[in-house]
Amino acid sequence: MNKSKEKELLLVLGGSRSGKSSWALRYAEEQYQPCIFIATAEVMDEEMAERVRLHKESRGPAWKLIEEPLNIDNALETGCAHADAVLIDCMTVWLS
């Protein structure tokens, strides 16, 4: 757990399916507790359904899930007040 009172913003960049989410999950779990995972993707086809299933399996019990495809600001304000770490996944889908 990170004892520092200063907030940290970390942007993880990389190619499609390059392991960004896995790396960010591990990093946050090692540094912070509790953790919030904001999922922005919407399941529109079988491929996305499989990706969501794998993401759910990869998160440990330390993670609380918030599914919010559009209003990330609302999710941050209402669901993340007491979290030490917030991971927003699938930003490219949200931005498009």
Say if residues 86 and 76 touch (Cβ distance below 8 Å).
yes
Name residue 72's amino acid: I
> How does pLDDT run along the chain (96 residues), one tens digit per residue?
455 556 788 899 988 889 998 899 999 999 998 899 998 888 899 998 998 888 888 887 879 999 898 889 888 888 888 889 999 987 877 777
Output the pTM of the full model.
0.79
> Of residues 55, 83, 87, 89, which has the active-site annotation?
55
In the residue annotation, 82 being an active-site residue is answered as no
Name residue 21's amino acid: S
Q: How far is it, in rounded angstroms, from Cα 55 to Cα 74?
A: 22
Check residue 37 and give its pLDDT. Answer: 92
- Pair of tokens at residue 49: 């359904």
| Domain residue ranges in the chain | 20-95
- Fold topology of 20-95: Rossmann fold (3.40.50)
